[in-house]
Amino acid sequence: MGLKSRDLFPGTLDLLILQSLQDGAAHGYSIMERIWTSSGELFRVEEGALYPALHRLQLKGWLAAEWGSSEANRRAKFYELTAEGRRQLVEEREGWDHLVLGMRRVLEGS
């Protein structure tokens, strides 16, 4: 049983996308697969959520994109982190770590 994009906290999808691209460029389907695999098959990102998010991150200057050929020899848009995207990934991760720490304190009663 995986969580769908709509089940994620606001902003989480952006972080998942940025994180999935930290090791290099990928096309949309590959990004979905990276998130699914790296989450232990917990987070399933749907195309209807992924592509608008990719476009939004590109408009923010966090991603660059160019057309290329996928592993299946199909035309695909490949996305990669920009320098600003790498900085944003650090900020997003720090924010997430802070949120998790706060939640852990509340749940553990500390």
DSSP state of 81: E
The DSSP letter of residue 2 is -
- Predicted confidence at residue 73, as pLDDT, reads 85
Question: How many CB atoms are closer than 10 A to CB 8?
Answer: 16
Determine contact, residues 18/62, Cβ cutoff 8 Å: yes
Is the whole-model pTM more than 0.75?
yes
- pLDDT tens track, the chain, 110 positions: 555 555 556 678 999 999 999 999 999 999 999 999 999 999 999 999 999 999 999 999 999 999 998 888 889 999 999 999 999 999 999 999 998 899 899 999 85
The domains found in the chain, sorted by start residue, are: 3-108 (1.10.10.10)
In this structure, what token pair is assigned to residue 45?
Answer: 């990102």
60-76 in b/e burial notation, b at 16+ Cβ within 10 A? eebbebeeeeeeeeeeb
